[in-house]
A = this chain, B = another copy of it.
Amino acid sequence: MGDTDTPLIELEEGLSPESPSKDKPLTARGARTRAALVAAARVIFERDGYLDCRLTDITAQARCSTGTFYTYFSSKEEVFAAVLEASQNDMLHPGMPRLDPGQSSHVEVIEASHRAYFEAYRRNAKLMMLLEQVAMIDPKFREMRRQRGKVFGERNARAIADLQQRGLADPNLDPYMASMALNGMVGRLAYHNFALGDDMEFEALVDTATKLWVNALKIVATPS
């Protein structure tokens, strides 16, 4: 991509921040308790699912009382947001590789991105599944996901448009639609494999996703 700092593609589904809820200065003890609750919530959510988990399961896991939960959160929804927030770093910055421009082609960048994305997804599979679930249940999270998808869609759309202008990608495609479609494709692939456990071979997955992207956009194999 030469002189641009925009990475060619970004595939992260991204998790979510939103509102830092009950944001208080927090004493050291408070911070510890809150963190314990968030960690416990992740464990319980992943074990029982969002719907089937009871608040008391979370507090039991965090070894605190029910009341304490409400010191830091005011609903299941809110802890869930906190869990996502706490996991964001891993999902949002999936070690986007800094490929040496001189040695990498567009294809290599795309492949590296896919690999990083799939790896992050695999690491957080349970959580991703949870997010899918909650997004289907709670309109707030659904909207959050949609917005985030849009942001990534637009970012990749710009990258695609850029390639098109430089004659390096199929000019007949609508950049935004193509972007949304291909992002969705990779997301679905990851969901099926890591969340549903379809269990395809990891490298083959990266390879297929990359080939389909490259083919779909008719990307010309030229050094990045």
A residues with CB within 8 A of B: 51, 132-133, 136-137, 142, 146, 149, 170, 172-174, 177-178, 180-182, 184-189, 192, 196, 198, 200, 204-205, 208-209, 211-212, 215-218
Q: Is the CB of A177 within 8 A of B196?
A: no
Query: Which 8 A-B pairs have CB atoms at the shortest separation, nearest pair first?
Result: A184-B188, A185-B185, A216-B216, A136-B136, A177-B208, A133-B136, A212-B216, A215-B216
List of B residues within 8 angstroms of A172 by Cβ:
211
CA distance A188 to B186 in the complex (A): 10
User: Beyond A184-B192, A216-B212, is A204–B136 a contact (Cβ under 8 Å)?
Assistant: no
Q: Please state the number of chain copies in the assembly.
A: 4
A-B contact pairs, 27 of them (CB 8 A): A51-B137, A132-B136, A133-B137, A136-B137, A142-B196, A146-B192, A170-B215, A172-B211, A173-B208, A174-B208, A177-B189, A177-B200, A177-B205, A177-B208, A178-B212, A180-B188, A180-B192, A181-B208, A182-B212, A184-B184, A184-B188, A184-B192, A185-B185, A185-B188, A187-B188, A188-B188, A216-B216
A209 to chain B, nearest CB (A): 7
Write the chain B residue with the least CB distance to A49: B137
CB pair B185–A182 under 8 Å, yes or no, is yes
The answer to whether A180 and B174 touch (CB under 8 A), given A136-B137, A216-B215, A218-B215, is: no
